[in-house]
Amino acid sequence: MGVLGKPAELLEIESVLDDQVPVIRRFTGGGTVIVDHGTVFVTFICNKEAVPNLQPYPRPIMSWSSSLYSKVFQGIGDFHLRENDYVFGNHKFGGNAQSITKNRWIHHTSFLWDFNVQNMSYLKHPKRAPAYRSARSHLDFICRMKDYMPRSTFMDKTVEATETQFSLRPIQLEAIRTCLEAEFCPSSRFLTNEELEAAAVALQS
């Protein structure tokens, strides 16, 4: 869930606790997503000057990323940005979140490559939802990206589109692990059962 998310408003807490579903409060904004092997993440971590003429504010960054993914999904479905979501037609398949500091910004997307229908029952209908959702249930609101293009094609096209903006070079996994060994205090964290139980009690009172 996003940094400002309230568990009692976003989660079916009893089911989450009964099934021991881990809940992470991430450091970026945005909504709540179910994450499993069917989720594909793409993240841009950029210095302020990395993209020429891009103002480091939510809407310009969102517009920039939409332009990049327009290349990826060109001719596939009816891709466009609706409010803060990537959609085919009026069905969401990508949710976005950001964090912006003085000299850097991060923009990441959770793509619904595939999903388990049962897992969607852990989510409540959010009080603040995009207008185009029109009070639809989760299953009527979202779609699977795999129904539109192969996963390998998505990966290749995303790299190709990104290369129009940046100079890319591959990094071995071991190099990333070495960086992770450095002293680092993550601001994303797991919520404890006690926190979730307290949220459930507060909702009932």
Domains of the chain, with CATH numbers? 7-203 (3.30.930.10)
Quick: pLDDT tens for 145-185.
999 999 999 999 999 999 999 999 988 888 777 766 666 67
Please report the pLDDT score of residue 152 as a whole number: 95
pLDDT surpassing 80 at residue 74: yes
45 band by pLDDT with thresholds 50, 70 and 90: very high
Quick: pLDDT tens for 118-129.
999 999 988 888
pLDDT surpassing 80 at residue 94: yes
- Extract the tokens encoding 66: 């939409």
In this structure, are residues 16 and 24 in contact, taking their beta carbons and an 8 Å threshold? no
77 band by pLDDT with thresholds 50, 70 and 90: confident
Q: What is the mean pLDDT of residues 5-20?
A: 94
Please report the pLDDT score of residue 180 as a whole number: 65
pTM of the model: 0.90
**Cα–Cα distance measured from residue 111 to residue 85, given in angstroms and rounded to the nearest whole number:** 10
**Cα–Cα distance measured from residue 4 to residue 74, given in angstroms and rounded to the nearest whole number:** 34
Cβ contacts of residue 36 below 8 Å, gap of 6+?
115, 116, 119
H/E stretch holding 203 = helix 193-204
